Structure 1
Amino acid sequence: MATASDVKRNLLLSALPVAELERWLPDLEPVDLPLGHVVFESDSTLRHVYFPTTAIVSLLYVLENGASAEIAVVGREGLVGVSLFMGGNSTPNRAVVQSAGQGYRLGAHALNAEFSRAGPVLRLLLCYTQALIAQMSQTAVCNRHHSLDQQLCRWLLLSLDRLDGDDLEMTQELIASMLGVRRTGVTQAASQLQAAGLIRYARGRISVLDRPGLEKRTCECYQVVKKEYERLLPGPGPGR
C-alpha cells in the first residue's frame, strides 16, 4: 500500500485533508511512466486518473493528418484525467509522457465516490481544473501571438517547474511535436538561447544555465499560468 509520505510528492495529493488522503491510500497504485508512454488516447474511456510525482505528462491535441500540439503540461502539481470527474469520462486529447518518472493512479470508482461527497476534495479538484483550463487558454494565446523563441522559453520554464533540478531529457523532435512547429524552428530557437548563455543543449539533454535570464526572455504567459496555480491551489506551487 502507498504511504502518505510517498504520495505527498504530488502536490495535489499533499493538499488533501488527512482523513481524505487516508481513505485514498489503499486505492492509490504506484505506476511507472516511461518516456513516450500514452497514458490515454483521444476519445478513450478513462478508467483512472494519474498523479505524477517525478514524471511530466503532456496533453496533446492531434489532428486528422497526424499533426499535434501540446495544450497543457501536467507534473507533480496536479493530475491527468480531469474529464473523469467532470462527467465526460473521455476527452478528445491524448496524454503522453514527455519526461519519464513515476506517479500514482486512482480508479474511477474511488475518485467519483470521493467527488460525490461534495466535501473539500470536490473544491480542490475544481480549483485544479480551473488552473488547468487557464494554462490551456494561455497556451492557445501564446501559440498565436508570441514568437517561437518566447514559446520555447515558456515551455522550458513550465517543464522545469514540474521537475527537480535544471535538466530536461528532451529531443528537438519531441519539442517540435509539443509546440506544433517544424524541427528547424526549434533548432534555431534553441541555438539562440544557447548563444545567449541561457541553456546548454547536447545529445537530447537541455540544461538551464540562467533561469532568471530565461524568465526575462519569455512572454507574460508563463507568469500568468504560474500565478493562477498559486492563487487557486494551497501550499507551494509547482515553481516554488
Structure 2
Amino acid sequence: MDREVKRHKSALLRCLAPADLKLIEPHLRETFLELRTPLETAGQPIDRVYFLESGLASVVAKKRANGDAEVGIIGFEGMTGTALVMGDDRATHDCFIQMTSEALMIETPLFMAALDKSKTLRPFLLRYVHALHIQATYTALTNARSKIEERLARWLVMCGDRVVGNRIGITHEFLAVMLGVRRPGVTIALQILEGRGLIQSRRGEVIIRDRKGLIEQCSGSYGEPEAEYRRLLGVDGWQH
C-alpha cells in the first residue's frame, strides 16, 4: 500500500513513528464496515485489528439479557484490539459498529509480529490504551453521578468529535443501550436538551445545534479524557 503518513485519516496511525508505521502499513487493508458489524466478541479470540478512519464503534459491556451498556467509544482517534497490546488474545467486551465506518484492518498475527519486532510500537499503543481507560473511568463516573440529560450531552459531544458534520444518526432505542437507561428516560433527556436549544431531535437522528452549550451541560464530565488523549499521544487537535 503506497501511502504517506499524512494521507491516513486515522489519527492514531498518523501519530506512529515512521519506522513503526512501515512495519504494519504493508499489511493494512481498506474495508467498509456496515452498521452493527461485530469487531470483537466478549471472551472470543481477536482475529483482526481495526484502525477506524470514519464512523464510530462502541465497546459494550453485558450484565444480562437486555442489560447492555456502552463503556467506550472508538472513532478515527483509536483502534480495536487493545487487549492484544496488553498481552491478551481475547476480547473483554463486545465491540461493534455504531455508525458506518471506513477502516484499515490488519490480521492479528501480522499485528503481533509488528509488536514483537519493534521496541517502540507497543509502548506507544499502550498510551492509547491508557487514554481509552481514562475515557471509560469518566463514563463510569458520569453514569454514577450525573443526570441522564448530562450523560446524554456528554455522549453527543463525544460522538460529534468523531463524525463529520453535526448530524448523528441514532435511534432512541440504541441511545438507551449506549447510556444504560430505559428508553423513556432517553426521550425525556432529548426533550430537555432540545428545549434548551442545544440539539434538534428527529426520528433516527440528532442534530447538534450548540456544541458549546452541550459541553456546559456536561457539568465537567467532558474534556479531561480528551485532554489526556492529546497529552498521551502528542496531538494538537481532537475533533475530526
Q: AA paired with 1:224? A: E
Greater shift, 176-185 or 2-11, is seen at 2-11
Report the Cα distance in structure 2 between the residues aligned to 1:219 and 1:84, rounded to whole angstroms. Answer: 35
What pairs with 1:191-202 in structure 2 (closer than 5 Å)?
191-202=191-202
Q: Which residue of 2 aligns with 1:98?
A: 98
SS in 2 for 1:45: coil
Q: AA paired with 1:109? A: P
Q: Which residue of 2 aligns with 1:133?
A: 133
TM-score, length-scaled by structure 1: 0.94
Q: Which residue of 1 aligns with 2:177?
A: 177
Report the Cα distance in structure 2 between the residues aligned to 1:177 and 1:74, rounded to whole angstroms. Answer: 16
Q: Which residue of 1 aligns with 2:10?
A: 10
Q: AA paired with 2:89? A: N
TM-score, length-scaled by structure 2: 0.94
Report the Cα distance in structure 1 between the residues aligned to 2:81 and 2:45, rounded to whole angstroms. Answer: 10
Which blocks of at least 5 consecutive residues in structure 2 are unaligned?
none
- Is contact 1:4–1:25 with CA below 8 Å preserved after alignment? no
CA RMSD of aligned residues (A): 1.6
Report the Cα distance in structure 2 between the residues aligned to 1:6 and 1:184, rounded to whole angstroms. Answer: 44
SS in 2 for 1:97: strand
SS in 2 for 1:49: strand
Q: AA paired with 2:112? A: N
Aligned-pair distance for 1:5?
A: 5.6
Report the Cα distance in structure 1 between the residues aligned to 2:33 and 2:6, rounded to whole angstroms. Answer: 16
Report the Cα distance in structure 2 between the residues aligned to 1:4 and 1:68, rounded to whole angstroms. Answer: 40
- Is contact 1:7–1:13 with CA below 8 Å preserved after alignment? no
Q: AA paired with 1:15? A: C
Report the Cα distance in structure 1 between the residues aligned to 2:199 and 2:238, rounded to whole angstroms. Answer: 21
SS in 2 for 1:181: coil
Q: Which residue of 2 aligns with 1:81?
A: 81
Aligned-pair distance for 1:65?
A: 2.4
CA pair 237-94 structure 1, distance change in 2 beyond 3 A = farther
The superposition leaves residues 190-210 of structure 1 with CA deviations (integer Å, 9 ceiling, x where unpaired) of 011111111011121111011
Aligned-pair distance for 1:21?
A: 1.7
SS in 2 for 1:65: coil
Aligned-pair distance for 1:41?
A: 1.2
Q: Which residue of 2 aligns with 1:122?
A: 122
What count of residue pairs does the alignment treat as equivalent? 240
Q: AA paired with 2:55? A: A
- Is contact 2:40–2:91 with CA below 8 Å preserved after alignment? no
Percent identity (aligned): 30
Q: Which residue of 1 aligns with 2:46?
A: 46
Report the Cα distance in structure 2 between the residues aligned to 1:172 and 1:165, rounded to whole angstroms. Answer: 20
Structure 1 moving runs of 4+ over 3 Å: 4-7
SS in 2 for 1:207: strand
- Is contact 1:226–1:239 with CA below 8 Å preserved after alignment? no
Aligned-pair distance for 1:20?
A: 2.2
Q: AA paired with 1:221? A: S
Greater shift, 184-193 or 26-35, is seen at 26-35
Q: Which residue of 2 aligns with 1:30?
A: 30
